[in-house]
Structure formats: structure tokens, C-alpha cells
């Protein structure tokens, strides 16, 4: 499941770029805020449920950590400041 959420190929990289642009646009255009809030909440729900099924302690905290890791990897792959290859991810 996590592999689908990080940009490991060209298609997912393009999706990540678009997502980053929508998230950035939400900072200055309130029309995008409900969409980005919903996406974040949906991701949190999916991660918490998966972690609960695996009986991970503190699934909410671990979901937050995973979401931050996914966001960081996505940002690193899709911006010029750093490139992480798919094997490293």
C-alpha cells in the first residue's frame, strides 16, 4: 500500500507534483482547502486502519510518522533540491 503513495515511477511522480501544487495552492486559495483537508484525513484513516490490523502500538502516532515520511520522500523526489532513487525509497 505504501508503495502506491510515493513517487516510484514517472506516473506517480507526475501525480505527486500535481498533489504538491494543489496543497501549495490551498495555502493562498481557500477553494482548495477542503480537498486537501479531505485527502489528509483519508490518508490518516487508511494508515491508522492498516496499522491497527497489524496490531501496531500507537497507530495514530505511527500513521502521522508515515504520512510525514511519505510527504518528505515525495517532496524530495519531485523538487530540484534532492533526488532519491526508487531503490532508496
**How far lies 22's CA from each of 28, 31, 58, 67, 74, in Å?**
10, 10, 30, 17, 14
**pLDDT tens for each residue of 65-81:** 999 999 988 888 888 77
pLDDT class of 2 with cuts at 50, 70, 90: confident
Residue closest to 2 by CA, chosen among 37, 51, 61: 51
Q: What is the pTM of this model?
A: 0.83
**pLDDT tens for each residue of 33-51:** 999 999 999 999 999 999 9
For residues 79 and 89, give the distance between their C-alpha atoms in angstroms, rounded to a whole number: 15
Q: Where are the domains of the chain?
A: 2-78
Amino acid at each position: 500500500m505504501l508503495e502506491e503513495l510515493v513517487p516510484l515511477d514517472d506516473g506517480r511522480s507526475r501525480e505527486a507534483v500535481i498533489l504538491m501544487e494543489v496543497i501549495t495552492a490551498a495555502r493562498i486559495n481557500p477553494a482548495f482547502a477542503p480537498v486537501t483537508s479531505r485527502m489528509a484525513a483519508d490518508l490518516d484513516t487508511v494508515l491508522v486502519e492498516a496499522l491497527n490490523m497489524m496490531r501496531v502500538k500507537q497507530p495514530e502516532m505511527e500513521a502521522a510518522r508515515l504520512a510525514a515520511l511519505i510527504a518528505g520522500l515525495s517532496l524530495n523526489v519531485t523538487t530540484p533540491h534532492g533526488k532519491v532513487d526508487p531503490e532508496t525509497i
